[in-house]
A and B are shown apart, each in its own frame.
Chain A
C-alpha cells in the first residue's frame, strides 16, 4: 500500500513538468485565442473592447477571407491527392521492386523535406522565372519559340504553389509509407503471386489494406501540414500576391494582425482551428476500417 502510494507520487512528479509546460504553452494560449476572438484590439494596444461574435459576423461577409479560405481548401484537396498518390506509388516501387540505387533514390526524394522553405522558394524562384527560368526554358525548347509563361502571375500562381508543395512533401510521406510497407510479410506476396495476382493487384489487395492505419494517420498529417506549410510557402514565395491572388487563410490572418485587427485575426484563427479539427475528424471517420492483422 505504502509502496503504491510512493509509486504514484513518483509518477505524478515525473509527469508534472511536461503537463504543466503543455498547459501553459499549448492549452492556455489556445484557449486565449478563443477568448481574444471575441474582443477588438490592436496587437500592441493595452485596451480591448468586448464585441461578442461581431468578428465572426464580419468574417462571413469578408470577400478577401473567403478567397483565402477557398485557396486553402484548394491546396488541401489538390496537394493531398497528388502527394498521396505519388508517395504511395513511389513507396510501393521502392520497397517491392528491384530498383537500382534504391537507397540513393530514397535519399534524393527525402532531401526537399530537409531544406528550409526559404531555400525551396529560392529554388522555385529560379525555376519559375519568366525570362530564362528553368521551366520556361524547357518549354521553349519544345515549343520552338521563346515561352514567357508567368508562373507566379495571377492565373497560375496557385498551380505554382501546388507544384512546389507537392515536391516538398512527397519524400516525407514516401518514407513513412515505405516503413510500414517493409513490415508486410513477404510470404503474403509470394502466395498471392502463386494464386496469379499481378503486381498491381498485389498493391491494391495486399499492400494498401495492410498499411491502412498508416494511411489514415498521414491523411490527418496532410490536412494539418498543408494548412501550416501553405503559410510558409506563400510568405516566402509570393507574399500573397499578385493582388492577393495567392493569399491563404493563415497568411490572411497574419496580415490582419499587421493591419491592427488582432481580435479579428484571432477569429480567423478560431475558424481555421475548427475547420482543421472537423475536417480531420471527418476524414478519420470516413476512412475507418477494421484493422487487418498479419
Chain B
C-alpha cells in the first residue's frame, strides 16, 4: 500500500513538471468562436464601403516607436474610426505573443496584427508556414481612406514583391503589409575615428587595415549585440557578393549556391570578421546581456556593430566615451568601387486567415499608409514606407534615412519560409548563431559551411 502511495506521489510530482509546459489547448478542430456579437462582416459590400457598425480588433506590438510616443497606436485607431466609422478595439503589448497567443490557439483571432518577423517567439513565421494569413494583394489597389490615391501608388517601390518578404510564397500574392522601415548598417563612434584620424572604410580591405591599426591601440574592429543582428548584415553581404539574382537564389536555398565563388567571398569575410571581433562578445550575446556588447562601442572597445537606428534610443541613457557621436555606414564594398548595400529592415502587419472582419481589416491596413497615420507614426519615429516620407524627416532620422541617397543601395528580403521539420533548425540558427562559435574558435569555417549546406538542402526540400 505504501509502495503504491509512494508511486502515486511520485507520479503527481512528475505531473507537476509537465503542468509547467502543457497548457490546456482547445480542440483545434473547433471552428473559430462565433458568439453572435458584432458579426456584420460586410462581405456583400464593396471594398470601400464603410461598415460603420463593425468593430475590428487590432493587436500591435508595443515597440520602441510606441514607447517614444505613448498612445501612438490609439491615435491612429481613433483617426481611422473618425475617417471610416469602423470602431477599433486595440491591444498594444510588449509581449504581444503571450497576450494574443492563447486566444488564437483557441481559434479567436484579432482582425489585424502588427508583429514583425524575426521575433524570438516567431509567431508571424508560424502563421506564414501554416498558410494561415489572409491574402491582401487587393489592398494594394484600394484607395487610402480619406485620400484619392491607392495604397500601391503610395508605397515606395521595391517594398512589395516576391523577394522582399511581403509575398512569402513567391507567387506574386501579397500577404504581409510592410510597416515602419529603417536602414540597418554598421554603427560606430564617429568621434573616435575622427579623433584618431582614421578614415571610414569603404571596402573590406580598408576595413581589415583599420582593424589592424585599431588593435594596436587595444580596440577591436567589430562586435555584435546578438547573432540575431546578423540578418541585416548577412543579407546586405549576399547582395554585395552577387546582386539581386544571387540574393534570391541564396535565400531560396538554390542547389549548389553555397559552392559558388560569390558565397565563398561571403564566407571569407565572415571568417576574417570573426577574428577581428572583440572576443568577449559571444559571452554577452544573449537577450539578457546584449546591451553590454552595444556598450563596447560606446566605450571604444569595439568600433563597428551591425544595428538599426533604434539603438540610439536604446542606449540613450548609457555612459559613453568622451566625444562620442553616432555614425552609420552601409556595408563596405567587397571590391574597390563595388556596390555597397544597406539592408532595409521593415516590420509587418497582417490579417490572420481566421479573422472575423477581413474586409474592414483591409481598410484598416490601407489606412496605415494615409498621410494622417504616417504623421502620427512619425511622432514616435516610426517611418512608413510611403513615397516622399524622407523629405519630411527631421534631425537624426533624416541622416540615417539619407544613407540611400549617398550611394548605398537598398537591400530588401529575407530567407524564404520553409515547412518546419523536426531536427532542422531555423534559418537564424543555421546561418547566424554559429558566428558565436566562430569567434570563440569552437567551430571552424569548414564545419560551419558543411552544416549550412546540409541544412540548406533540407530547407530547399521543404520550401513552403
Contact = CB atoms under 8 A, between A and B. Distances in A.
Nearest to A282: B10
Please classify the interface of chain A as helix (H, G, I), strand (E, B), loop, or mixed, using the class held by over half of its residues: helix
Contacts, number: 194
Interface in A234-260: 236-239, 241-244, 250, 253-254, 256, 258-260
B436 A224 contact: no
B326 to A, nearest CB: 22
A166 interface: no
Interface in B406-461: 420-423, 425-426, 429, 433-434, 436-437, 440, 442-443
Contact of A62 (B10, B423, B442): B423
B348 to A, nearest CB: 16
A36 interface: yes
B250 to A, nearest CB: 21
A67 to B, nearest CB: 12
B17 A272 contact: yes
A152 to B, nearest CB: 4
Contacts of B17: 224, 227-228, 272-273, 276
Interface string B278-308: 0110111111110010000000010000000
Given A64-B423, A224-B17, A242-B440, A258 B120 contact: yes
A239 B443 contact: no
Contact of A130 (B127, B284, B422): B284
Contacts of A250: 20-21
Contact of B14 (A32, A259, A273): A273
B420 A130 contact: no
Interface stretch (A21-29, A100-108, A180-188): A21-29
B422 A258 contact: no
B449 to A, nearest CB: 15
Nearest to A279: B14
A30 B15 contact: yes
Interface string B95-124: 000000100110100000000000011110
Interface of A: 24-26, 28-30, 32-33, 36, 41-48, 55, 58-59, 61-65, 121-122, 125, 128-131, 148, 150-155, 220-221, 224, 227-228, 231, 236-239, 241-244, 250, 253-254, 256, 258-261, 264, 266, 269, 272-273, 276-277, 280-281, 284
13 contacts: A33-B21, A47-B130, A48-B28, A150-B282, A238-B288, A239-B287, A243-B433, A244-B429, A244-B433, A258-B121, A258-B123, A273-B18, A281-B7
Interface of B: 6-7, 10-11, 13-25, 28-29, 101, 104-105, 107, 120-123, 125-127, 129-130, 132, 226-227, 279-280, 282-289, 292, 301, 354, 420-423, 425-426, 429, 433-434, 436-437, 440, 442-443
